[in-house]
Amino acid sequence: MKATMQTTQTLSAVSPPRARNISFAWLGVVPFFIFAILFLILPSATLLIGSVQDRQGNLTLGNFAGMFQGVTLKFVAAPSEASLLGVTFPLPFTVDFQSNSIVSAYILSMQVGIITALTGGIFGFLLAYAAVLGGLPKFVRSALLTFSGVASYFSGVPLAFAFVATLGRLGFITVLLRNYFDFDLYMTGFSVISLLGLILTYTYFQFPLMVLVITPALDGLKREWREASENLGASGAEYWRYVAFPIILPSLLGTMILLFGNSFGAVATAYALTGGNFQLATILIFRQIRGEVLQDPGLGYAVAVGMIIVMALSLALYYWLQRRSERWLRR
Amino acid sequence: MKRSTLFPWILIFLGFLYFFLPLIGTLDFSLRLVKDQITLEAYKNVLTSARFQNTFTYSFVMALWTILAGTLLITPTAYWVHLKLPHLRPLIEFVTLLTYVVPAIILVFGIIRVYSRPPLSILESELGADFLLVMGYVAMSLPAMYRSVDTGLRAMDVRTLTEAAQSLGAGWRTILAAVIFPNLRIALLSGAFITFAMVIGEFTIATFLARPAFGPYMANLGQTRPYESTALTIISLSLTWACIGVMQFLGRGTQGQIQVTR
């Protein structure tokens, strides 16, 4: 990057100065920036402005405060139980959390985002690990990359239909299990239109992305590092614990953050899967645009801006991790 | 040191299952419109329905406009930034990042608000709404398109080619049309296919701009006709994947996937 810039400067210094071309060079990118202003910046800025105005157009932070109306969080010193995805575990304190529909939607979106980033991220990493470092034949690796490239574009409405056709009440796997294994999936409380179903569905486009990003990073682990650590007496586990894993951790985490954003901003899959009954933040905005919820328009803008803020924060974190991973994995 | 490959094989097998089971499930489901019988009836129903033909044609045409608009907008810009204004690169990157930070649902929310009231109320007219849809799609496919063109530009010697054309007396239009575009053929094609794959079944933006597009039609069908909608899934999937396949074939070895950064 630096080098290209320098060459450009030297070249323009050597070639005869043509003031006309140089001073008007920026005109060439004007259409692009006009496009960006009209169809990216202006729409986002309008939401931002709407979010800090009340109905009379006065400046206010009331819309953002409104998002948290009725939300209280208290800790009480009494043991209790919490459950996540059907797994119950004891807690040493009791959380008294009163939520409202907006905060609940955000929490649900973040839950789905974090869980699918983890499931997709870990599964994708293990697959890439198996294909790159597992000692499998070469074709496995290229097949995995091809399938991942293809599967990462399988999202939106068709993906939801595919999962209903597979895990729905009359779905392929459900019927298969019932007919051949005498096991009724839906008797266990499972439903494809549930948090678990949504997570399984999202994971389908999440793990291929992880495979695509982490494979080059695993390729970047130098053979010499392994040999050096073995010469120093490290076991395979120690090599992973102290050398390889710390090196790829930033790009692993960075990619998981991208996966989080990927899921956090998604709406079509969830809408088609649950018919809009599943209250994610994006679905809340979906219904707000349709005029079904939140009578207050300013509140709607605040919810949208809140999403932009979450996305921007996750991207900033991604950049920070990216810089850290480049230290070792420079090609 | 020979390690066992059992664990890696199990992992790959699980990945294989995860990848193929939903596809097999969908295919199987789509063939069962008639009880206890394998039939292509659902496909026949879908393909002969007028709404399918109309919405699909509409989305197809909009995809072509998106590709045209995106190409005309991005190629000259990328070329110009490459040649004359490398210091603008961070600004371009910022715009690219905006498309990540502002998901489609938020983007269309903003677009509706800006373009449904004076002074820019173009959403009311059909043509205006189509225009906004295409612009929204260009914004959505911008990172992929820009990356594809940028990779193509890096692969050739832009400066030498430009200077050679200039010294032969070519003007800027000739340089772009006769030198740069032909050299970017592969990059542009792969960008076009990826854009097509993203746009053809797009749901969110089309829904809120109230366009008669394929994505909303598919979602609608899913609520009433389960077999037909899975047949539609198989159709749209084959189409999308054909595009991705062509793109991967064209861009062998050059694609850096979801690198938001460059």
The rounded average pLDDT for each run of 10 residues, N- to C-terminus, in chain B (262 residues) is 78 92 92 84 89 93 95 90 86 86 92 86 88 95 89 86 90 86 86 88 92 92 88 88 78 45 32
Q: Looking at A60, A85, A112, which one is the last position of a domain? A: A60
* Relative orientation angle of helices B104-115 and A281-289, to the nearest 10 degrees: 20
Q: What 3-state class would DSSP assign to A95?
A: strand
Name the domain boundary from A41, A60, A79. Answer: A60
Q: What is the CATH number of the domain that holds A195?
A: 1.10.3720.10
CB contact under 8 A, A272 and B104: no
A164 and A226 belong to one structural domain: yes
In a domain, A70, yes or no: no
Together in a domain, A121 and A261: yes
The answer on A274 and A165 residing in a single domain is yes
In chain B, what residues touch A144 (CB-CB under 8 Å)?
A: 12, 15
Hey, are the CB atoms on A26 and B204 less than 8 Å from each other?
no
**Do A105 and A54 lie in a common domain?**
no
Q: What is the mean pLDDT of each run of 10 residues along chain A (331 residues)?
A: 44 46 71 93 92 84 81 78 74 78 89 94 93 86 86 86 90 89 85 88 92 87 85 86 85 89 91 84 87 76 92 90 71 47
Examine residue A274 and state whether it is found in any structural domain, yes or no: yes
- A171 lies in the same domain as A293: yes
For chain A, what is the domain count? 2
Residues from chain A contacting residue B148 (CB–CB below 8 Å): none
Question: What is the pLDDT, as a whole number, of residue B251?
Answer: 64
* Helix extents (H) in chain B: 6-30, 41-48, 50-83, 89-101, 104-115, 126-155, 158-167, 172-174, 181-183, 185-199, 204-208, 214-224, 226-250
Within 8 A of B5 by CB-CB distance, chain A residues are: 134-136
- The set of residues, in sequence order, having a beta carbon less than 8 Å from that of A208 and lying 6+ positions away, is A124, A147, A148, A149, A150, A151, A152
The residue of chain B nearest to residue A132, with distances taken between CA atoms, is B8
Domains of chain B from N-terminus onward: 49-250 (1.10.3720.10)
**What pLDDT is recorded for position A90?**
80
Please list every residue in chain A whose beta carbon sits closer than 8 Å to the beta carbon of residue B21. Answer: 166, 172-173
Q: Are residues A43 and A133 in the same domain?
A: no
Say whether both A193 and A290 belong to one domain: yes
The pLDDT, as a whole number, for residue A7 is 44
Residue A272: closest CA among chain B residues belongs to which residue? B219
Does a structural domain hold residue A264? yes
Q: Which one of B258, B259, B262 makes the best mutation probe of the A interface by having the most chain A beta carbons within 10 Å?
A: B258
Number of neighbours of residue A158 by Cβ within 10 angstroms? 28
* Same structural domain, A144 and A31: no
Q: Is A308 within 8 Å of chain B by CB?
A: yes
The count of other CB atoms within 10 Å of the CB of residue A26 is 13
Residues A217 and A165 in one domain: yes
Q: Up-side HSE of residue B203: CA atoms within 13 Å toward CB? A: 22
Would A225 be classed as within a structural domain? yes
State whether A31 and A107 are in the same domain. Answer: no
Q: Among A60, A85, A107, which residue terminates a domain?
A: A60
Q: What is the ipTM of this complex?
A: 0.85
CB contact under 8 A, A311 and B102: yes
Does residue A124 sit within a domain?
yes
Per the CB < 8 Å rule, is B248 touching A322? no
For residue A190, what pLDDT is reported? Answer: 85
Is A44 domain-assigned?
A: yes
In a domain, A2, yes or no: no
pLDDT (tens digit per residue) in A120-133? 999 999 999 999 88
Q: E strands of A66-210, at which residues? A: 72-76, 80-84, 87-91, 94-98
Q: Does A206 lie at the interface with B, CB-CB under 8 angstroms?
A: no
Do A153 and A248 sit in the same domain of this protein?
Answer: yes
Note whether A114 and A180 are same-domain residues: yes
Domain that holds residue A225: 99-326
Question: How much is the pTM?
Answer: 0.84
Alpha helices by DSSP H, B156-258 = 158-167, 172-174, 181-183, 185-199, 204-208, 214-224, 226-250
Q: Give the A window 165-184 contacts with B, CB below 8 Å.
A: 165-167, 170-173
Best residue in B29, B33, B96, B250 for a mutation probing chain A (most A CBs within 10 Å): B29
Is A251 a member of any domain?
yes
For B257, phi then psi, to 5°, come to: -80, 155
- Which residue has tokens 């009480």? A76
Our CA-based measurement puts residue B49 at a distance from the nearest CA of chain A, in whole angstroms, of: 18
CA proximity to B190, closest of B230, B133, B150, B135? B150
- Any B CB within 8 A of A24 CB: no
CA-based nearest residue to A115, from A86, A140, A94: A86
Q: Measuring CA to CA, how many Å separate A250 from each of A317, A322, B158?
A: 10, 7, 35
